[in-house]
Structure 1
Amino acid sequence: METKEKILVYGAGGVQGGAVARKLLEEGYTVHTVVRSSDKAAQLQEQGITAFVGDLSDADSLTSAHGGVSKVFLLLPVDYDLERNRQFIRNTVDAAKHANVKLLVFNTSGSVLDDDTGVTAFDIKRELVAYVKQSGIPSIILQPIFYMENFLIPGVVDNQTLAYPVPADRAIAWISMEDAAAYGVYALNHPELAGQTLPIVGPEALTGNQLAEQFSAVLDQEIQFYSLPVEAFEGALAPLLGKDTAAGLADSYRWVGLNTKLLPQPEQVIDKMRTSVPGTPLIEWVKKAMQDGFFAPGSELNRNS
């Protein structure tokens, strides 16, 4: 019987990294992760994940998690402080290099543009990707755009309105977090892709108005799309995420509103990845979300926040 490798998955205690960890466990891999508290570590241990207490800002605390690890899936927390990001990427990548890992898969959690944009969210990520590439570790860079799970934010789909800070008439290829996780696992299983930067997006690009049409069909009620002003979006997020994070996200949405055509499209996903992970159409994702109790009348996520 083949012995599967040990893989370190950063963020396994969250939604995105957790989906990657679950899929790897299902395939028989041993999964390590790093969490900040012993309580969280105990919870993940119960799920079959070997969790080590550590902190991305403390390089020494990451060493134990790399014991016997051959591959790393790297996902960093959302943070718009450049110095913290530099510290996070330096500590995580250096730890992987010292452990002689064979492959590092980095999900950037957003687009990375080649040129300066003046948008912190994008320009930080370009610097992070550059550090990964110069490390010498064989690496695969995965770039999603927007996650369908953003529609679960309280108030986004409410009162027969889908309110989101993107244009009503420009198409964006949304992706589910489960599909993004599946692409992550695919990359971990295909080290021959090392050296490539790969867009990972859904199977269809939809305008805001088309989003509303599909929600209408599934929810069996007329849903109108409202291109939410970025300032309103920022104001709603600030109490939840903090002013700096809200401002960083707002800047990225302003850029997207003006540059939607520069975002990856479904046909840019490489054929082998698309064949392995066809992707979830939005209408199927909404149906699944309804089955899970979202968007139902009176549900917590169907009320104004």
Structure 2
Amino acid sequence: MAIKDKVLVYGAGGVQGGAVASKLLKEGYAVHTIVRNSDKAAQLQEQGITAFVGDLSDAGSLTPAYQGVSKVFLVLPVDFDLERNRQFIRNTVDAAKEANVKLLVFNASGFFTDDVTGVAAYDIKRELIAYVKQSGIPSIILQPTLYMENFLIPGVVDNQTLAYPVPADFAITWISMEDAAAYSVYALNHPELAGQTLPIVGPEALTGNQLAEQFSAALNRNVQFYSLPVEAFQEALSPVLGKESAVGLADSYKWLGLNTHLLPKPEQVSDELRSATPGTPLKEWVKQAVQNGFFTPVAG
């Protein structure tokens, strides 16, 4: 297979970036990435990814990874410190500009409006996007809704309960990270979309009760939806993610609960994009999660 362009994929050692890197390799692209240590670099090298050791807070350490790169997929770590985020985006985007990158695809890891909300998670991302646009690099911004992988957080799906901090009666369009990666690769393959912000969503919008029905059918047991209070969600996440991240996520879900109607719907995706990225229905995603050992169905 002939090698196409070189693409720098941030986060290729994680779930989101890893899915993008895997798809690009299958399409014949050469993939670079940046990791924090040599052990992780060696693991990724075995997968065919050229990995460089660097740190988002150290601008100079990023430069080698940009050698020969024409496109960049950027996703940043979950972090609610504004100054760190400013440093991360400045270093990554400035390095791309210096390398004369032709296209930058930025997955903002969430949907939000153009209005100032007072919610750190959204206002930080808004500032980062503004910096990307001001750089002059042709760019495509991706805004996913909620990831299906959030259902894998311990305690979200229990024996007979699906507990999540969203309203029970409003239909939300969820998307899998694998499908988000498909959107990302589509964007990287279509530089003519530069200048656009694309909402990336799955093929169906489901209420909390409909989520429970889908899980019930896939797991062969009765699952009820419970609209989890945001405070309880924050308390559960704090020991896992740390207080700062737990508070930041809780604040974003408070805003989401009041503005669920603003979330994009499946019909807002263009026919061309939907044809290329049809998306995975939730029931099918749950079945795949069962096959991967994340959920245990009841035999029957």
Q: Contact 1:113 / 1:123 at 8 angstroms: preserved in 2?
A: no
Matches within 5 A, 1:11-26: 11-26=11-26
Partner of 2:176 in structure 1? 176
Instruction: Output the CA distance in 2 between the equivalents of 1:112 and 1:34.
Output: 28
Deviations 1:139-190 (A, max 9, x none): 0000001100010111111020000000110111000000000000000000
Aligned to 1:245: 245
Gaps of 5+ in 2: none
Q: CA deviation at 1:2?
A: 4.5
Counterpart for residue 303 of structure 1: none
Partner of 2:139 in structure 1?
Answer: 139
- Secondary structure (helix, strand or coil) at the match of 1:117 reads coil
Write the letter of the residue equivalent to 1:112: F
Q: Deviations over 1:82-103 (max 9, x none)?
A: 0000000000000000000100
- C-alpha separation in 1, matches of 2:297 and 2:168: 25
The one-letter amino acid paired with 1:189 is N
User: 2:60 is matched with which residue?
Assistant: 60
- Extract unaligned runs of 5+ from structure 1: 299-305
Report Cα offsets for 1:193-226 as digits up to 9, x if no partner: 0000000011111111110011001111110000
Task: Work out the percentage of aligned pairs sharing the same amino acid.
Answer: 81
| CA–CA separation in structure 1 for the residues paired with 2:255 and 2:284 | 29
Q: Find out whether 1:263 has 2:238 as its counterpart.
A: no
Question: Where does residue 213 of structure 2 map in the other structure?
Answer: 213
Match of 2:83 in 1: 83
Deviation at residue 38 of structure 1 after TM alignment: 0.5
Alignment of 1:1-305 (within 5 A): 2-296=2-296
Name the amino acid aligned to 1:248: G
2-side partners of 1:271 and 1:108: how far apart?
23
What residue identity is the alignment partner of 1:256? L
CA contact (8 A) 2:205 2:266 kept: yes
CA distance, structure 2, for counterparts of residue 61 and residue 20 of structure 1:
22
For 2:38 and 2:130, the matched residues in 1 are separated by: 33
How many residues are matched?
Answer: 298
Q: Secondary structure at the match of 2:202?
A: coil
Q: Give the residue type in structure 1 aligned to 2:270.
A: I
Counterparts of 1:259 and 1:112, CA distance in 2: 10
Look up the SS of the partner of 2:172 in the other structure.
coil
Cα distance, 1:293 vs. partner? 1.1
Contact residue 290 and residue 297 of structure 2 kept, 8 A: no
How far off is 1:295 after superposition? 1.2
Q: Is the 8 A contact 2:173 2:202 kept in 1?
A: yes
The residue type paired with residue 209 of structure 2 is N
Matched residue SS, 1:226: strand
Contact residue 219 and residue 297 of structure 2 kept, 8 A? no
Q: Which AA in structure 2 matches 1:164?
A: Y
Which amino acid counterpart does residue 48 of structure 1 have in structure 2? G
CA–CA distance in structure 2, aligned partners of residues 39 and 2 of structure 1: 29
**d(CA) in 1 for partners of 2:22, 2:233:** 32
Counterpart secondary structure, 1:174: strand
Deviation at 1:112, TM superposition (A): 2.9
Segment drifting more, 37-46 vs 2-11: 2-11
Using the TM superposition, give the Cα deviation of residue 297 of structure 1 relative to its aligned residue in structure 2, in angstroms: 6.2
Counterpart of 1:116 in 2: which secondary structure? coil
Q: Following the alignment from structure 1 to structure 2, what is the Cα–Cα distance between the partners of residues 279 and 79? A: 28
Using the TM superposition, give the Cα deviation of residue 113 of structure 1 relative to its aligned residue in structure 2, in angstroms. Answer: 1.4
Residue aligned with 1:7, SS: strand
Counterpart amino acid of residue 228 in structure 2: L
Contact 2:110 2:145 in 1 (8 A): yes
Residue 291 (structure 1) shift? 1.1
Deviates more, 1:151-160 or 1:288-297: 288-297
TM-score, normalising length: structure 1: 0.96
Q: Which amino acid in 1 is paired with 2:93?
A: V
How far apart are the structure 1 equivalents of 2:112 and 2:262?
11
